[in-house]
């Protein structure tokens, strides 16, 4: 079992920032983006640990050129090791460690609640400048719970109606899931359960409707949930962009989320559609390492700058 052996670099502001990368639709580029953001941050001297929580289809290691995994999340889930840190493997990139996703898909894809909570607890205790968590497709409770590791996870969408539709559904489901875990009030919980069904008979269609319904039951709780909405600021990346209209999808989604959900997405940037991407995946080499001047690499560099700036701002003021 390898010890990560990360060299100690200067922390930019103290604390570990968790970036979970999700978005609903399969194949939108979540793992590609997670891997390349991780490499990009590590190349700038940050200590980065990546965790592949795609429990049914782990493949983040392939994006980083690591083959056949020796130790995986499975060893942690099955308690063959006590701490998730013990299954971090070194990558060829200094400062970048990876927890390879579980391979025992039959058991790992459907972990028991206590197993999931243990994974979440250990991820929250990882020590690095950034912990990047790659999520599976869909919006199952498992995926949502990993996304909710932080209030500002990264949502990846491609400029296609199906992907956009899934992303809206994902944001809404994540938000409802978050509210449900915060609420003990049985009647309010019932309202939230009801709201999860889009065609519910109470006519709750958006998070704002939901908060109004909760406020009706308990004013204080309604106001608390409203504050939670304000703190919930997922970041948005539009991937596989070909036109200016594609870039604008991010702005449209941002205003629609604010208007209908009262959720203030942070649009951190877009990534160009680039043939170099699939070629790098074929070669099992991170794009930003192999082709730092490719269109998509330059987009990732810009997004990396924004993420770092945000952390500096968060900690310095």
Ligand X SMILES: Nc1ncnc2c1ncn2[C@@H]1O[C@H](COP(=O)(O)OP(=O)(O)OP(=O)(O)O)[C@@H](O)[C@H]1O
Shortest Cβ distance from residue 275 to Mg ion (Å)?
A: 20
Residues that bind Mg ion (CB under 5 A): 30-31
- Among ligand X, Mg ion, none, the one that 27 touches (CB under a kind-dependent 5 to 8 A) is ligand X
Residue 240 in contact with ligand X, rule: CB under 6 A: yes
Is 113 exposed, middle or buried, given 0-12, 13-18 or 19+ CB atoms closer than 10 A? Answer: exposed
Residue 53 in contact with ligand X, rule: CB under 6 A: no
* 62 alpha-carbon distance from chain centroid: 18
The tokens describing 220, both together, are 């204080």
Q: How many CB atoms lie within 10 A of CB 182?
A: 15
Contact segment (CB under 6 A) with ligand X among 24-32, 73-81, 89-97, 173-181 equals 24-32
x/- string (CB under 6 A) for ligand X, residues 160-179? --------------------
Q: Select 58 or 204, whichever has its Cβ closest to ligand X.
A: 58
- Among Mg ion, ligand X, none, the one that 296 touches (CB under a kind-dependent 5 to 8 A) is ligand X
Shortest Cβ distance from residue 186 to ligand X (Å)?
A: 35
Cβ atoms of 234 and 266 within 8 Å: the answer is yes
Phi, psi of 132 (to 5 degrees): -105, 125
Cβ atoms of 299 and 272 within 8 Å: the answer is yes
Shortest Cβ distance from residue 150 to Mg ion (Å)?
A: 19
Q: CA–CA distance from 126 to each of 78, 117, 130, 287, 306 (Å)?
A: 19, 14, 9, 26, 23
Per CB under 6 A, residues contacting ligand X are 26-32, 54, 57, 136-137, 239-240, 271, 273-274, 277-278, 281, 296
């Amino acid at each position: 079992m390898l010890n990560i052996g990360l060299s100690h670099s200067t922390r930019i502001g103290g604390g570990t920032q968790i970036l979970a990368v999700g978005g609903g639709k399969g194949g939108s580029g979540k793992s590609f983006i997670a891997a390349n953001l991780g490499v990009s941050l590590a190349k700038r001297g940050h200590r980065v640990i990546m965790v592949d929580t795609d429990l049914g289809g782990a493949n983040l290691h392939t994006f980083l050129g690591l083959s056949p995994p020796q130790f995986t999340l499975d060893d942690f889930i099955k308690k063959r090791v006590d701490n998730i840190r013990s299954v971090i493997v070194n990558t060829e990139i200094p400062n970048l460690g990876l927890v390879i996703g579980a391979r025992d898909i039959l058991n790992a894809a459907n972990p028991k609640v206590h197993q999931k909570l243990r994974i979440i607890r250990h991820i929250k205790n990882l020590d690095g400048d950034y912990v990047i968590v790659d999520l599976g497709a869909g919006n199952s409770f498992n995926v949502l719970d990993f996304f909710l590791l932080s209030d500002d996870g990264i949502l990846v969408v491609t400029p296609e109606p199906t992907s956009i539709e899934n992303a809206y559904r994902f944001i809404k489901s994540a938000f409802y899931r978050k509210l449900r875990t915060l609420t003990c009030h049985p009647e309010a919980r019932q309202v939230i359960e009801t709201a999860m069904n889009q065609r519910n008979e109470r006519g709750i269609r958006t998070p704002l409707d939901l908060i109004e319904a909760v406020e009706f039951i308990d004013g204080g709780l309604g106001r608390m949930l409203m504050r939670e909405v304000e703190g919930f600021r997922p970041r948005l990346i539009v991937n596989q962009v070909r036109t200016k209209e594609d870039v604008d999808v991010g702005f449209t989604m941002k205003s629609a989320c604010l208007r209908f959900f009262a959720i203030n997405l942070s649009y951190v940037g877009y990534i160009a559609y680039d043939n170099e991407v699939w070629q790098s995946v074929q070669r099992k080499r991170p794009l930003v390492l192999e082709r730092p001047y490719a269109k998509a690499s330059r987009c990732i560099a810009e997004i990396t700058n924004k993420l770092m700036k945000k952390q500096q701002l968060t900690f310095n003021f």
